[in-house]
Amino acid sequence: MKLEFETIQPSAGSSFRLLHYTEAEEGGILWHYHPEYELLYIPQGSGRRHIGQHVSHYEGGELLFMGPNLPHLSFSHEQHGPFEQVVVQLRADFLGDTFLQRPELAAVQQLFVRSGQGLSFGPQTRAAVGDALRQMTNQPAPLRLLTLLQVLYQLADATDVTELHADMGSSGGVQVKEQKRLGRIYQYIQEHFAEPITVQDLADVANLSVPAFCRYFKKMTSQTLTNFLQEYRISHARLLLLQDLPITEVSYASGFNNLSHFNRTFRRLTGLTPSAYREQKGATAVLVS
């Protein structure tokens, strides 16, 4: 199974991304990784837990906290019938470079360190934290942030937690020495995706020649830079289309300077025109904003 890089953007007006699935997602990325930490809650049911080199079975629901660049299989894979999950994805610096270094958050900082092995929490913490995560999907942004901080503290203080020892080390994960370089590239794209970005720009960020960068980027993301940027920009456009913005404005704000090109690219990657996407009802995943 091919390891794929997943592009993630925070919810509109938020420093992290919150997703609420009410049925199993079809056709999504299966075996994947991303630079963000991921907190995942499944209220009930059973399934396969495949994170890094760890493979096991869970029953009665699941609550996981996974570190950055830790490959994992989509939890909706092979799910049939009723299925629900709440997903929070965030970067270590989602509240600033030094936020987790504050003495009051020492336990939370250690939680982030431990998550590199993958953490699975027991029924007691799952029940307490699960209710809070569900509530977040209906909260305004400021209260949602406070709830997330409370959830992270509860996880840091939990005793019913199992380390999954999922770190792949040199057997196929993303090496620590490459995480910083990949992070710099990803951050540059996050900050400049609405502007023209050249291969030379990112080669300079990565301190590589253009040919070396192209090989490196393809190896790390399984995509060319052109394809990656198109997917990233369309991902941002999908967020903006959930707001009451003209499609032309969505196009330019997402880094496309030609509306026809935007429409063609959007349809190729999503199977829908931008207007049809906006009108579509009954989506399986709700991006909370």
Q: What is the pLDDT of residues 169-180, one digit of tens each?
A: 544 455 556 767
- What does the pLDDT read at residue 250? 94
* Paired tokens of 133: 């995560």
Element (H, E) at 42: strand 37-42
C-alpha 142, offset from chain centre: 20
Query: pTM of the prediction?
Result: 0.67
What does pLDDT average to in each consecutive run of 10 residues of the chain (289 residues)? 73 82 67 88 84 81 92 72 86 85 91 93 94 93 94 96 74 58 82 93 95 90 85 83 88 94 93 87 48
Which of 111, 128, 163 delimits the end of a domain?
A: 163
* pLDDT score at 75: 78
Residues 215 and 275 in one domain: yes
Same domain as 246, residue 220: yes
pLDDT at 281: 35
Give the CATH number of the domain where residue 74 resides: 2.60.120.280
Residue 120, pLDDT score: 95
Return the pLDDT at 287: 57
Question: 116 and 70 in contact (C-beta within 8 Å)?
Answer: yes
Write phi, then psi, for 77 (nearest 5 degrees). -65, 130
In this prediction, residue 132 carries a pLDDT of 95
Residues 159 and 68 in one domain: yes
Number of domains in the chain: 2
169 inside domain:
no
Residue 115 DSSP SS3:
helix
Q: Which of the listed residues 116, 139, 163 is the one where a domain comes to its end?
A: 163
The whole domain housing 9 covers 4-163
The residue count for the chain? 289
Distance CA 130, CA 42 (A): 8
Specify whether 108 is located in the same domain as 199.
no
